[in-house]
Structure 1
Amino acid sequence: MDSDEAEAALGGARNGHSQVAADGGFWVRYQDIGVTGIYGPGMILAGVAIDAMEGPLVRLQEVELIARVPSQASAEIQHLARREDAAVRVNWSGDPEIAAWGVSMGTALEYGISSTGHPERKDRMITSALFVSAELADSPYETEPVRQWCDVRERAKNSGSWPVKTDQERSHWDWSPQKAVGPLRFGMTPQQVADALGGEAPSGRQGHFPYWWWRRGAAGQWTLTHDRFERTGVTAHYWYPAGLPELGAVKVHGRTGPQITYAGIPLIGATPSRLDEAMLQHIEDHDLGLLFTPSGSPIPPGLQFDINATRAGDTAISEVTFASADWEL
């Protein structure tokens, strides 16, 4: 079906966001119902992504696919696949993907409503799903138009396991707000960052061309945006205040990164809800004033960091992005 037919089938759901790709494909998020339609050239529907929190519940025979505990959903999918003689593989995010059914599973952090009526993060992951046509089913995330909607080629791939270092296994770094994180000082060049990390080469690099229609191999300057250092457990984010890349922010990975504390509170690898509670208590005890980060975490003013949550199997743990004074979190 085309985009008009899809919208009619969805009862005229409101278009919350859409974007057109260079090859004529495009995607539309129907925000009222938590569904994204992914369209190929000619406005023909090629894929449907179902949101973990807001999307409709979808059943494959007796298996509920959406808003489930990932390991439970995976076990039921595996059981159904064996019964139906369908092959199951692991996709880029470490979740089940079944070409015969045109489905690739995913996850997202669960949110709820606090006692004050505000959204708050939970401590677990729940399932989402991407459904594609038969033509895309063999490799949905590597095929247009899905690749235009969600390009995962430069993201860290997961094998389906989420090992987490204990606090004893982690190195421990100092942090100077808006100035430095461990050996990394804001304003460093990419080479200086690698040297400060003992010469470690980036395990992944991500960037972009200056215009959205350009691709790798086309004319134009490719701009580095971040380097991922898997062994150390950090990602270096760059900006260009003077025309050349400088370190503007450092993300410390929740599962493998060094431990960093604030006021005696461990920030890395913690349960998000408990970390939020500890931060709120510290702010209240010392009358520091209160800010909420873009991800919804409470922090004192002037520190320039954001507490995020990353997956550790069925649960979520904290990771933190520390930024320079002028970096926009």
Structure 2
Amino acid sequence: MTTWEVLAESDRHQWVYQPLVGVGPLRFGMSFEQAAAALDEWTATVTPAHRSAFEGDQRAGFRTAGSPSYRLPLTAYFGDSEGIVCVVADALCGPQVSLDGIPLVGRVPSQLDAALRELMLTRGTSPQYFPEGDIGADEWGLVIQVQRAGDVLLTRPVLAVVRQRAYTVWDGMPYDELEVH
């Protein structure tokens, strides 16, 4: 596996996103211990979030057995007293997360943008475009970021809850996630 290699769809864990509830086996509000138990086949490394607007935030990187050390398939952020506040699946090697049958991870941004926009409008949700031009919706706790895969960009969804002292999902996103490209 090379640095830019993208994991085949059939080799990814398949998870469903329930907006503002959770993704796969993880639920917003879970403690690190509960998350680690829910992801019992995964190993985790916990560090303070590098840059956060919220004091005490922790960043947990989860890997499956055999994942190279330079790959981090899943990242979860834990608030000091809030438990999980944000989950991010890596575009290259993370689990495939779907929302209403639409795969969110590792997609060409323009294709996912069109599919999400249609879903949002069908459900009466106004699509939001955040400062970097990424589509999302506060009421779904969703911001679609991008991540480089060689010479292309692929989608890397940020799934989160709007935190206290934050007006939007974007405002409460860990700054670490704004630096991934």
The TM-score by the shorter chain falls in which range?
0.7 to 0.9
User: Is residue 187 of structure 1 aligned with residue 29 of structure 2?
Assistant: yes
Deviation of 1:254 (Å): 0.9
Question: Structure 2: which 5+ runs fail to align?
Answer: 65-71, 164-168, 174-181
2:179 aligns with none
Which of 96, 102, 116 matches 1:279?
116
Q: Give, in whole Å, the separation in 1 of the partners of 2:36 and 2:131.
A: 29
- Within the alignment, does 1:230 sit opposite 2:67 as a pair? no
Deviations 1:174-200 (A, max 9, x none): 222111111111111212211111153
Identity score, percent: 28
Moved over 6 A (4+): none
Q: 1: distance between equivalents of 2:39 and 2:160? A: 18
Q: Is the 1:233–1:258 Cα contact (8 Å) retained in structure 2?
A: yes
Measured at CA, do residues 208 and 162 of structure 1 come closer, stay the same or move farther in structure 2, by a change above 3 Å?
closer
Query: Separation in 1 of the partners of 2:118 and 2:49?
Result: 39
**Corresponding position: 1:170 with 2:24:** no
Residues 46 and 58 in structure 2, CA contact (< 8 A), matched pair in contact too: no
Letter in 2 for 1:169: D
| Structure 1 residues 284 and 324, CA gap change in structure 2 (3 angstroms) | closer
Deviations, residues 266-306 of structure 1 (Å, cap 9, x unaligned): 10010112111222233345543222234422334510111
Tell me, in whole angstroms, the C-alpha distance in 1 between the residues paired with 2:105 and 2:23. 13
Change (3 A) 1:162 1:274: same
Pairwise CA RMSD of aligned residues?
2.8
- Does structure 1 conserve the Cα–Cα contact (< 8 Å) formed by 2:43 and 2:63? no
Match of 1:289 in 2: 126
Please name the residue that 1:314 is paired with: 151
- Summarize the Cα distance change of 1:199–1:281 in structure 2 as closer, same or farther, 3 Å threshold: closer
Q: 1:197 aligns with which of 21, 39, 42?
A: 39
How many angstroms apart in 2 are the aligned matches of 1:309 and 1:263?
20
Q: Could you say what secondary structure the match of 2:11 adopts?
A: coil
Give 1:229 deviation, angstroms: 1.0
- Could you state the TM-score of these two structures normalised by the residue count of structure 2? 0.73
Q: Which residue does the alignment assign to 2:79? A: 239
* Contact kept in structure 2, 1:294 and 1:306, CA below 8 Å: no
CA deviation string 1:104-129 (max 9, x = no partner)? xxxxxxxxxxxxxxxxxxxxxxxxxx
SS at match of 1:307: strand
Normalised to the residue count of structure 1, the TM-score between the two structures is 0.43
Deviations 1:57-93 (A, max 9, x none): xxxxxxxxxxxxxxxxxxxxxxxxxxxxxxxxxxxxx
Residue 276 and residue 193 in structure 1: after superposition, are their counterparts in 2 closer, same or farther (change >3 A)?
same
User: Cα distance, 1:223 vs. partner?
Assistant: 4.2
* AA in 1 matched with 2:34: Q
**Offset, 1:249:** 0.7
Shift of 1:171: 1.3
Deviation at 1:204, TM superposition (A): 6.0
| CA 294–184 in structure 1, closer or farther in 2 if over 3 Å, else same | farther
Matches of 1:286 and 1:224, distance apart in 2: 33
**Residue of structure 2 equivalent to 1:76:** none
The alpha-carbon distance between structure 1 residues 180 and 298, as it changes in their structure 2 partners (threshold 3 A), is same
CA shift, 1:208, in A, is 5.8
Mapped partners of 1:177, 1:307: distance in 2: 13
Query: C-alpha offsets along residues 295-328 of structure 1, whole Å, 9 cap, x if unaligned?
Result: 4223345101110111111111111111124362
Question: Hey, what's the Cα distance between the residues in 2 that align with 1:321 and 1:263?
Answer: 16
Give the length in aligned residue pairs.
157
User: How far off is 1:253 after superposition?
Assistant: 1.0
Bigger Rg, structure 1 or 2: 1
